[in-house]
Structure 1
Amino acid sequence: MKNTRHPLSSGLLWAGLFLALGPTLALGVTRPVSDYFAYPDDGIDDTDEINNAITAAKDGDVVTFAAGTYDLKTRFDDERYLKISSKTGITLQGATSNGAPATKLLRHVNVEAMASPPRIFYLFNSTRVTISGFIFDNTPHLCTTGTVTAIDPAGKYVRVQIPAGLPMEAGQPCYAANLWEPSVDELKSVANVSANSSPANWTIHDATNRIMELNKSTGLTFLANTAVGDRLSWHYGWNGRSQLEVAKSNTITLDNLVVRNAINMALLIGSTHDLTLSKIVMKPEGAQLPVGPRDGIHISRCTGTVNISDLEITGVRMDGLVVRTPYADIASIASTTQFNLLTELATSGQTIPVGSSVTFFSSTGNPYVRLVAAATYNGDSGGRSSYTITTQTDLPSFAAVGTEMKLGGLMPASVAITDSTFKNIAGSALILFTDDITVDNLTATKVMFPAIHLGDNSGSGVCGYGITIRNSTFDRCGWMPKPESGIPGIITLAAINDTFTTPKLRDVTIETNTFRTHLASTTNPAVNAFDTDGLTLTDNVFENVRQPVLIAATSVTGDSVATSDVIVDNDNNTVTHAEATGSFGNSGLTGYNASKTRFSSSTGAKATWTVTPPRTGSYDVYVYKIVHSTSDSNAKISVTHSGGTGVTYVNYTTGTSGWHKVGTYTFTGGTDYTISNERSNGYLRTDAVMLMQL
């Protein structure tokens, strides 16, 4: 039974204190949701009680929650369970344990295909609101995970055993499905099983042993990439309402949040000025592998500053984080300073501020900036919004119906994404369609598509200006191209919008990053650049990367690639490293980055490394020398280069283990060269080689 304490007890106490102290102190009050009869872990619906606490909250108030699970069973309306609308200066604060959220908001949902239940939170038209210290989850999860137990030799069915405690629902589709490596619970480096279409519906093959079957009479094409023992995850839908949504608000902070399961997007934020996201975790629990079938965080048409830090995004099917701004074009011209425009996507009446910029693009993509003197919203039609804009000075001389533009009033002044990790993303880690972005200290691991895509998308987004990506690490990313572009790589830069075709990226810097284990092919580089004016790559390390950089000479201008390091290690590398002659074994001596090393005592033993410099020029060449008294005292190091082959002999019995320079040579960018190490006596020891760009 609900507690019958007076719901305003704490509020009245604070109100009395305020009256006693006088009006000079604008004190907020703490409002425990228990004062409104919401209690954790009792299994009773808490939706109305939490909404009552939020409704009562005033500027400066903190609505607090105890540790435990609050149940959301009865929707406030079709849009939300919990409503935060037209609020100023309130904080919703969950409990924490050792700094981590300890308050769970559990949304109860019905099992159905393509479900779109109301959001847990819908924050609308509010200012200075903070949400902190919560875990968001659903019951049941409209997704599941299992282990492949049988594959039809004819390719028509697959059977999967579902662990106890995970959903096992017959008749549900197989959307947003992926294969996983069983020993490490990482995405398998193959294509999606499915995305926005389902190959068939699941049936229960053996209820006792929790085995389900997916069967298609014409065959399941993904079985070519599937093995017994693989893990397989899938969702019952892929589109609908987000878990938490923020719209038309100002100065919003989302902090210390955990998302265990999302039915569609986890966080959707639009038309909001000054946004801070920090310490947000999206990570499954237990035997479950996926979190959600859509983007982790999607930010659209936000303005002011967008500061994002300490994200940990794991297991989303589409993209980890999207920041998007739409294009617009001229619909009609009324005078030399006034015109009507149509935005690429509807804005629902978002204000375009006086003094904000309009960047017009000439037919060659050159930008011409004007400032807004007046802007009037005229309405939405056909998925686009109409505005009448008056500029402070005359329009560019080339302005005409159809001239393309981007609007500073619909994009952030700056975006900072720092100290964040993305793992097991069946899409991209970051999709960035706006200006003035800094990405710093990002770690991306096992990201299926390009870890970062800059430019626009086939149907939305702008080519950004002033973008820096630095101090970041990319490991085993980009084994599949982004479907909309077909462009492979770990970082891709391209203008691929189907309608808005003249803009280009501008002033992009990629510096002090490390790219690891990307051996797919010479046409799938670490950095793949198109449609860019001003591209600088500096001090990047390419470790076991088959092709470091590809730059399209026909569409990229002002590019520079400097002081790169190209490292080829023998660990898990049969593409650019080979033991060409003799028998080799593992050594107990460690090498570069504490990696394993190899040795051989075979007569004429020889190991080779293929290196591909990113840019034509001079490079210092190094081998990683493993010093031991039994090593080869006269190992022959051969380096092919633009002028022929250089030969050096190295004594591996003396000195200190580490990088050892064997010469300086000139290489042609994008061309394969060979470094070899050949035994003379003792044990030939092999590990890694490096080109250091001068």
Structure 2
Amino acid sequence: MCIAASLLFTFLPMTAAAQTVVAVSTHGANPDDGVDDRISIQSAINFAIAIQRNTGQPSIVEFEPGVYNLRHPPAGLAELITIDNATDVTLRGAIGDDGAPATVLQRNVTELVNEMEGADVISIDDGTNVTLENLVLDNSPGFTSAGECVVVDVANDAVEVDVFENLPHFEGMQAFSANVWDLETRDLKVGVPHLSISTNINNFPEQWHLVPGGDGRRYRLENMGFSEHLQVGDGVSWHFNVASGGHQLRASGTNGLTLENIHITNGPEAVTSYRDVGDLTCRRVKLAPIGNQLAVGPRDGMYTAASRGEYVYDQCHWEGVRWDPLALFNKLGYVENVVDARTIEFFWYRSDNYSIDDLQATLWFETGVVEATITDHQKGATSKDASGRTIRCGTLTFADDLPEGFGPGSVFAPHRRTKTVIRNSVFQNNYGRAPYLSGVNMEIVGNTFRNNGYALAIGLSSPGAGGFSRNVVIRDNKFSRTTWSSVVSTSIPTSGAIRFYENHPAQFTTESYNDTILIENNRFEGINFNPDYAAIDLRNAQNVTIRCNEYIDTPNTVQIDEATTDVDSIIIENDGGPGGCANCDGVNTDLAPPFGELNSADIIAWIFNPDPSLAEPTDVLDGFDTLAFLSYFAVGCMAPAARQ
């Protein structure tokens, strides 16, 4: 049989869309001159927005390579740079020879203090199709410090550290979100718990105090429990702000936000924040320490609430984040009263006031689960529940009659975010859930999870956040020496490198609400710190398929909580062999013979190599036409990881 291969390229005439380029230099902003550029940059942005409104053409605000200074704090301002009500506007920095961003927007803090009140570096509000490209968002001095432990005084519960050169320090600095590091590898020290965590500054009665030694960079901290976990020679990281200071980037109410080639080196509180953003795309976004830093931020790296549309994270990097490097929360609504056959009164926690009109929602009640369509959402007032927590009330009308049994005490999850993709990205040295997710149609493919304190966690996070996860694919990822701590309450002591769980003690303790999950062709290595922790920990789940995963130095592979999981709907097949399993290593066992025993590598070699010794597959395929063969090859003969 003769097979001819050809590649056809069709070149279509392309006309660049008309656009306006606004150089910040024409508005007085120049890099590397030490002058405050905030007003000049804002002028260029405002001009670009106005031009776009007049012409309807996209506008680009263009920066040169170098450092642009942003003096902080600006009196009475909530942000240093604002992009407000913009459409089709891009902030574009320069690219270095290595492909990294070469334009730095640097917040210059005049005096470091604990819990400094501050402004966001960039805020984006109520926009459409806004893009940031090739920018480093930095602070000088930074909001984080680190040093080497030189004294451990257990009797007095005291430790002393020498702050690393070129890192900030000051008398009386706080030790928020502190962690222990192995200075030889610059990794979080496996198995060592966090030294401090809280957003309540009253939990930090003691501060670092300057003592003799260390070339004027030696500090002592007492009565915080650090001496129990530190050894001389360990690295220590800590932060000055945990509940204030302003985000490096904050976006809200925007439809179509793209971040491309953005690096963030440190920041106070949640490093970046996204609320009510529709369709977020992040490519080559990197949150990672530089120089002598060990950590980036004291809380979440990318905190996301009220998300909607499609969210894509491609070739991103999260490292050195104290809490969750990426947190994607959904809302849960609680039914208070039934108004009529299709209408309910409800509340959700916190004061968020976004719309959930025209959305699909999962209705969960004592006797069943139903997917429904919301046709009308009337927003109500805020109030307090019996425990004093803030709630937002409202009414909902559905397209169809309410199912029997859905009423007061029932819960619903509106699906504002319709798809989430995390691919080809890195999560490492984060002491938090890496990442935390909930929602529908989620794909987590081709990522590296290394040396993170907590699991890749999917499920309900709290009464105020979470959501029912549906249609989840976790494929072709590498998990290495990750998960040595359990973020969930001690009532659920187990954990896993991948974990489906709930943390909602008032409701949903035993329900299998995470549904339709595929976990395949992942590699788990060194998941062995705690015998109760597994590579895969299933709770509150049903309709799960686990196959073709590889476990190295990982004795506890799959752990299923029978009390909360529909065990009969869990399928474990061809799992745990070398390379995942023999049947999944390039061989399609899902197809009937004669195709089922062909190896994709052999067929590729046979197509492109005329060596007669490689002609054996022709015997199997003899009698099939070229189209049938190519269809088989494209869809069937690859490993399962490449087929879906």
Under a length normalisation based on structure 2, what TM-score does the superposition of the two structures give? 0.80
Counterpart for residue 641 of structure 2:
none
What's the CA shift string for 1:481-534, capped at 9, x where partnerless? Answer: 114454322111112123442762111211110111122233111111111121
Q: Which is further off, 415-424 or 258-267?
A: 258-267
Q: Which is further off, 59-68 or 196-205?
A: 196-205
Residue 567 of structure 1: how far off its partner (Å): 6.8
Q: Please state whether the residue corresponding to 2:236 is helix, strand or coil.
A: strand
Counterpart for residue 85 of structure 2:
86
Q: Please state whether the residue corresponding to 2:361 is helix, strand or coil.
A: strand
Say if 1:72 and 1:105, in contact at 8 Å, map to a contact too.
yes
Q: Please state whether the residue corresponding to 2:165 is helix, strand or coil.
A: coil
Residue 548 of structure 1: how far off its partner (Å): 0.8
Counterpart for residue 220 of structure 2:
214
| Residues 1:198 and 2:204 are matched in the alignment | yes
Equivalent residue letter for 2:505:
D
Distance 1:555 1:111, change over 3 A: same
| Residues 1:289 and 2:287 are matched in the alignment | no
Distance across 1 between alignment mates of 2:206 and 2:81: 35
Residue 414 of structure 1: how far off its partner (Å): 0.5
Q: Please state whether the residue corresponding to 1:425 is helix, strand or coil.
A: coil
Counterpart for residue 372 of structure 1:
374
Say if 2:426 and 2:448, in contact at 8 Å, map to a contact too.
yes
Residue 77 of structure 1: how far off its partner (Å): 4.6
Equivalent residue letter for 2:540:
D
Residue 266 of structure 1: how far off its partner (Å): 1.9
Distance 1:129 1:159, change over 3 A: same
Q: Please state whether the residue corresponding to 2:228 is helix, strand or coil.
A: helix
| Residues 1:53 and 2:44 are matched in the alignment | yes
Q: Please state whether the residue corresponding to 2:440 is helix, strand or coil.
A: coil
Distance across 1 between alignment mates of 2:61 and 2:301: 26
Say if 2:548 and 2:577, in contact at 8 Å, map to a contact too.
no
Which structure ranks higher in relative contact order (CA pairs < 8 Å, sequence separation ≥ 6)?
Answer: 2
What's the CA shift string for 1:386-444, capped at 9, x where partnerless? Answer: 22211111111112222111112xx2111001000011101121100212110001101
Q: Which is further off, 151-160 or 227-236?
A: 151-160
Of 48, 51, 61, which residue of structure 2 is paired with 1:63? 61
Distance across 1 between alignment mates of 2:437 and 2:227: 33
Say if 1:132 and 1:255, in contact at 8 Å, map to a contact too.
yes
Distance 1:497 1:234, change over 3 A: same
Say if 1:495 and 1:505, in contact at 8 Å, map to a contact too.
no
Counterpart for residue 641 of structure 1:
none
| Residues 1:469 and 2:469 are matched in the alignment | no
Distance across 2 between alignment mates of 1:369 and 1:51: 46
Q: Please state whether the residue corresponding to 1:52 is helix, strand or coil.
A: helix
Of 536, 539, 545, which residue of structure 2 is paired with 1:527? 536
What's the CA shift string for 1:199-246, capped at 9, x where partnerless? Answer: 620001126623433332xx4533233211111111112223321011
What's the CA shift string for 1:584-626, capped at 9, x where partnerless? Answer: xxxxxxxxxxxxxxxxxxxxxxxxxxxxxxxxxxxxxxxxxxx
Distance across 2 between alignment mates of 1:560 and 1:25: 51
Residue 106 of structure 1: how far off its partner (Å): 0.7
Distance across 1 between alignment mates of 2:466 and 2:493: 17
| Residues 1:560 and 2:544 are matched in the alignment | no
Say if 2:162 and 2:214, in contact at 8 Å, map to a contact too.
no
Counterpart for residue 543 of structure 1:
552
| Residues 1:227 and 2:231 are matched in the alignment | yes
Distance 1:390 1:458, change over 3 A: closer
Counterpart for residue 100 of structure 1:
100
Counterpart for residue 589 of structure 2:
none
Distance 1:116 1:546, change over 3 A: farther
What's the CA shift string for 1:285-324, capped at 9, x where partnerless? Answer: 1111111111111222111111111111111101111111
Of 515, 520, 528, which residue of structure 2 is paired with 1:511? 520
Counterpart for residue 38 of structure 1:
29
| CA RMSD across the alignment | 2.0
Say if 1:115 and 1:263, in contact at 8 Å, map to a contact too.
no
Number of corresponding residues: 537
Q: Which is further off, 143-152 or 495-504?
A: 495-504
Counterpart for residue 392 of structure 1:
399
Counterpart for residue 360 of structure 2:
357
> Between Structure 1 and Structure 2, whose CA radius of gyration is higher?
1
Equivalent residue letter for 1:545:
T
Counterpart for residue 177 of structure 1:
178
Say if 1:161 and 1:212, in contact at 8 Å, map to a contact too.
yes
The correspondence of residues 9-158 of structure 1 with structure 2, limited to 5 A, is: 27-58=18-49, 59=52, 60-73=58-71, 75=74, 77-98=76-97, 99-109=99-109, 110-158=111-159
More helix by percentage: 2
Say if 2:154 and 2:228, in contact at 8 Å, map to a contact too.
no
Equivalent residue letter for 2:102:
A
Q: Please state whether the residue corresponding to 1:399 is helix, strand or coil.
A: coil
Say if 2:459 and 2:502, in contact at 8 Å, map to a contact too.
yes
Q: Which is further off, 425-434 or 122-131?
A: 425-434
Say if 2:345 and 2:394, in contact at 8 Å, map to a contact too.
yes
Equivalent residue letter for 2:376:
A
Say if 2:525 and 2:553, in contact at 8 Å, map to a contact too.
yes
Distance across 2 between alignment mates of 1:206 and 1:62: 53
Distance across 2 between alignment mates of 1:236 and 1:25: 47
Counterpart for residue 652 of structure 1:
none
Q: Which runs of 5+ in 1 are unaligned?
A: 1-23, 569-694
Q: Please state whether the residue corresponding to 1:100 is helix, strand or coil.
A: coil
Q: Which is further off, 540-549 or 219-228?
A: 219-228
Q: Please state whether the residue corresponding to 1:89 is helix, strand or coil.
A: strand
Distance 1:77 1:508, change over 3 A: farther
Distance across 2 between alignment mates of 1:443 and 1:151: 35
Residue 255 of structure 1: how far off its partner (Å): 0.9
Say if 1:166 and 1:288, in contact at 8 Å, map to a contact too.
yes
Counterpart for residue 677 of structure 1:
none
Say if 1:168 and 1:212, in contact at 8 Å, map to a contact too.
no
Distance 1:76 1:66, change over 3 A: farther
Say if 2:469 and 2:515, in contact at 8 Å, map to a contact too.
yes
Q: Please state whether the residue corresponding to 1:57 is helix, strand or coil.
A: helix
Of 259, 269, 274, which residue of structure 2 is paired with 1:269? 274
Say if 1:326 and 1:345, in contact at 8 Å, map to a contact too.
no
The correspondence of residues 574-593 of structure 1 with structure 2, limited to 5 A, is: none
Distance 1:406 1:375, change over 3 A: same
Q: Please state whether the residue corresponding to 1:90 is helix, strand or coil.
A: strand
Q: Which is further off, 237-246 or 93-102?
A: 237-246
Q: Please state whether the residue corresponding to 2:526 is helix, strand or coil.
A: strand
What's the CA shift string for 1:139-162, capped at 9, x where partnerless? Answer: 211221101111114252111111
More strand by percentage: 1
Residue 368 of structure 1: how far off its partner (Å): 1.0
Distance 1:566 1:205, change over 3 A: farther
Counterpart for residue 257 of structure 1:
262
Distance across 2 between alignment mates of 1:500 and 1:118: 38
Equivalent residue letter for 1:71:
N
Distance across 2 between alignment mates of 1:116 and 1:538: 50
Distance 1:25 1:539, change over 3 A: closer
Distance across 2 between alignment mates of 1:106 and 1:478: 34
Distance across 1 between alignment mates of 2:377 and 2:432: 37
Distance across 2 between alignment mates of 1:225 and 1:68: 41
